[in-house]
A and B are shown apart, each in its own frame.
Chain A
Amino acid sequence: GAGVSQSPSNKVTEKGKDVELRCDPISGHTALYWYRQSLGQGLEFLIYFQGNSAPDKSGLPSDRFSAERTGGSVSTLTIQRTQQEDSAVYLCASSFDRGNTDTQYFGPGTRLTVL
């Protein structure tokens, strides 16, 4: 079946602009995660959505970052007033969140370049 999809695959923006990154999780998955992968910081957790519960935002690096998940499915990660250090690959993952058997499946990522 279809995996996690992300769009755009690449995004180049100018410093100070806002960007929106989209994630379509696997159908039926109730949990959705955002991570980012950068040269300096490796793979970092950003935010986690589980059903109707309040999201775990503990990984968001600043208040310029926000995310929402509408209708328990698609999620959008928004970065306001982008900075060069925001350049990274932003990865989305989803899972069923049913306990021990769950696995997070990752999308291909969005490569963000801030000039």
Chain B
Amino acid sequence: AQSVTQLGSHVSVSEGALVLLRCNYSSSVPPYLFWYVQYPNQGLQLLLKYTSAATLVKGINGFEAEFKKSETSFHLTKPSAHMSDAAEYFCAVSESSASKIIFGSGTRLSIRP
């Protein structure tokens, strides 16, 4: 069975500050890991995905995530927050890139001017 835990349902940072959204996973098989973003009143958009290649994954909009097997973590970071980054972020896991995705509960990111 697979599961994902996102620590913090709401994170608030100042514009220009580091963004860190935490995600821990549980999987009995080598996982595929994803971060999706959902902007207000819009659909889900893939930010980045880990598929057992490089452990540091770079995504769109300056985001990146690092797969750490020893910590079962896949935290999402961005060096400098922008107002347009305000959205809901979902960490997710699957057994392959094409099987059902198990989503975390989501973290709402707010950006303070």
Contacts and interface: CB of A to CB of B under 8 A. Distances in A.
B97 A33 contact: no
Given A42-B106, A43-B90, A100-B51, A107 B43 contact: yes
A95 B102 CA distance: 16
A35 B51 CA distance: 22
Interface string B78-102: 0000000000001010001111111
A45 B44 CA distance: 14
B98 A43 contact: no
A59 B100 contact: yes
A97 interface: yes
A48 B7 CA distance: 28
Contact of B102 (A31, A45, A96, A97): A45
A45 B100 CA distance: 7
Contact of B101 (A45, A101, A105, A109): A45
B106 A101 contact: no
B28 to A, nearest CB: 16
Interface in A88-111: 91, 93, 95-109
Interface in A53-91: 56, 58-59, 91
A100 B97 contact: yes
Interface in B48-68: 49, 51-53
A110 B102 CA distance: 20
Given A42-B106, A43-B90, A109-B43, A104 B101 contact: yes
A92 to B, nearest CB: 10
A48 B97 contact: no
B66 to A, nearest CB: 19
Interface of A: 31, 33, 35, 42-45, 48, 50, 56, 58-59, 91, 93, 95-109
Interface of B: 36, 42-46, 49, 51-53, 90, 92, 96-106
